[in-house]
Structure 1
Amino acid sequence: MLIFAGRGKILQPSSSQVTICPLLLVLLWRQKWTVPQKYFAHFYVVGVVWTTCLFAITWMYAFKMAPLTGGSHVDHWFKVWRAVFLLLLMEIHVLRRLIESFYVFNYSPCARMNILGYFTGLFFYAAAPLSLCINIAPEVSSDEAWMVPNDWCQMIGAVIFLWGWIHQRRCHAILILKDAKMLMQGSLRKSPSQAKKYIIPHGDWFEMVSSPHYLAEIVLYVGLLLASGGTDVTIWLLFGFVVGNLTVAAGETHRWYLRKFENYPASRSAIFPYVY
């Protein structure tokens, strides 16, 4: 999993990884098997374009096949409009990430990520929006009793999604300010070896975990999962991939911080407060 999660400062392997899997390092950690980290923007270009197309198609399908008047096909009506709602949440997320990639983050020219992780990211942002609307084939159901709790699931899921979205935005702002301080301090140093000095980030969820932006991403997908009703296997698979990938990346980031800073806060977890 680390092959796919490796990026930026955690792309270089630790000594334990060198001992355990030297052949893998020869094949995958070499510079020719990486791409610039700024290619992260490609993920969100794919995500925005594909999500927008699916959202438009699903919206038109909703009006044509499942009008707001409902009728006897209440189950199908709900699933179609739920898919529209989920795609809207995904659109909000990937659009913000695209704007951040182009206009907010300033990736170092030296920052790289593994090429397998790059292709995995492209596949993920092509598959993720599709998984939100894949299960809206026409169905007829006479049982409407379950509709009420699912309405509440959508509302609660949307609140959790926005909660994660807001905190991820805050954490990204903290990282941007940290990078700006690093550049400012680096410009004042005479020695090139001192030009890039990392700073421990503080504020918001950084006081609890080392990778709060990853935690916020997981919270986003918890919201999507709840808003979907939790009945679609594809969305569960999507959620599982997000949790697995980001947990591995956060663990490596946390260990990097511990190696880099002797005074790193001992109370911080890697990604899940008081758990891991």
Structure 2
Amino acid sequence: MQINIIRIIFIFSSLFVGIIGLLLNYMESYLPCVITRTYRYGKFSVDKYQPLVAKVEVPKRWFKHFYIFAAPASSYVLYLVICKYLWNDNISKNVIWILDICLGSFRQALVSPESTFIATVLLTLHCWKRFYETHFVNIFSDKMMNISHYIIGHYHYVGTLICIIGESKGFVEGSEGNFSWKKITYLQLICAIIFVLSSCVQFRTNLILNKLRRNKDGKINSTTYKIPHGGLFKYISGALQLTEIIIYITLSIILWQSSTYHYVTTWVLINQTSTAVLTHRWYIETFKNYPTSRKILLPYIF
């Protein structure tokens, strides 16, 4: 197959989210409820009932399903990477066949084994951290989300994992994957450190949100939304979104040789920025005492 399916879907998703996001910001009052209720979810969901959309909605707490899938899946991909680069095993032809279908049989071995190894280790750690957060830290409300969000959430991780190894040396027919610890660069290590720090800040941010729904004894006493304080929330409304963007940008730098992975980062950038804008607007419209000094995504700037 000569079509890069993964790239096409990420491009389409980025354009769709970007266009709808802009329309919601500037022309929401003119949009039909079927669009606004489909796009919005969680705290900024639409209360107006739309029978067709309501039939294809699932609980927002199903976000945790993403990581029930992504954590083991990323672990399996890490296992393949370790087998190939550290144990010099051959990659199954079935894996090569799947990668050819998803990225096209014309794909090339562009990414170094070192970049692939670091990126896979980092993403696997991130997925297991998110698994822990969604199961033991996040306290979900009874809000709903459109099933399209549920589907794209799973696709995101399938596509991301395929993009990481799909253009890596050793995972393309006829290429060799000669891994060397000495070839790991300072830039890759710096990006890995920033990735881990950003992931830690994201974890702290979720702890802040967790405490908003617990009493002094640590018991859950509410699922309503409140104004968060502390950490990045001192400066911006989209604390979770900023950390997610940084995580994927650092992976993009590590995987700079790739021709497809950067479409994942573009999708994350557009999606998370749109979410941050809607979150900021919702806070301002909902709470009259919301701090006016807070920006949307970038402290003191935007």
Q: TM-score, normalised to structure 2's length?
A: 0.71
| Distance in 2, Cα, partners of 1:184 & 1:64 | 47
Question: How many residues are treated as equivalent by the alignment?
Answer: 245
Give the 3 Å change call, closer, same or farther, for CA 33–168 of structure 1 in structure 2.
same
Consecutive aligned runs of 4 or more in structure 1 exceeding 3 Å deviation: 1-5, 13-16, 25-30, 137-141, 181-187, 195-198
| Distance in 1, Cα, partners of 2:115 & 2:207 | 31
Q: Does 1:101 align with 2:138?
A: no
2:169–2:176 contact (8 Å) kept in structure 1: no
Give the 3 Å change call, closer, same or farther, for CA 3–33 of structure 1 in structure 2.
farther
In the TM superposition, residue 211 of structure 1 has moved relative to its aligned partner by 1.6
Look up the match of 2:75. Answer: 52
In the TM superposition, residue 55 of structure 1 has moved relative to its aligned partner by 0.7
Aligned residue type for 2:232: W
| Distance in 2, Cα, partners of 1:241 & 1:163 | 22
Unaligned runs of 5+ in 1: 6-12, 67-75, 142-146, 188-194
In the TM superposition, residue 162 of structure 1 has moved relative to its aligned partner by 1.1
Give the 3 Å change call, closer, same or farther, for CA 160–196 of structure 1 in structure 2.
closer
Q: Does 1:79 align with 2:112?
A: yes
Look up the match of 1:155. Answer: 189
In the TM superposition, residue 15 of structure 1 has moved relative to its aligned partner by 11
Look up the match of 2:63. Answer: 40
Structure 1 range deviating more: 21-30 or 89-98: 21-30
Look up the match of 2:210. Answer: 176
Give the 3 Å change call, closer, same or farther, for CA 14–184 of structure 1 in structure 2.
farther
| Distance in 1, Cα, partners of 2:223 & 2:194 | 37
Give the 3 Å change call, closer, same or farther, for CA 23–183 of structure 1 in structure 2.
farther
Question: What is the SS of the residue equivalent to 1:198?
Answer: coil
| Distance in 2, Cα, partners of 1:227 & 1:131 | 13
Question: What is the SS of the residue equivalent to 1:113?
Answer: strand
Q: Does 1:261 align with 2:294?
A: no
In the TM superposition, residue 20 of structure 1 has moved relative to its aligned partner by 2.5
2:60–2:144 contact (8 Å) kept in structure 1: yes
1:45–1:98 contact (8 Å) kept in structure 2: yes
In the TM superposition, residue 122 of structure 1 has moved relative to its aligned partner by 0.6
Matches within 5 A, 1:1-276: 17-25=28-36, 30-65=53-88, 79-108=112-141, 110-138=142-170, 139=175, 151-181=185-215, 198-228=225-255, 230-276=256-302
Give the 3 Å change call, closer, same or farther, for CA 197–97 of structure 1 in structure 2.
closer
Paired-residue identity, %:
24
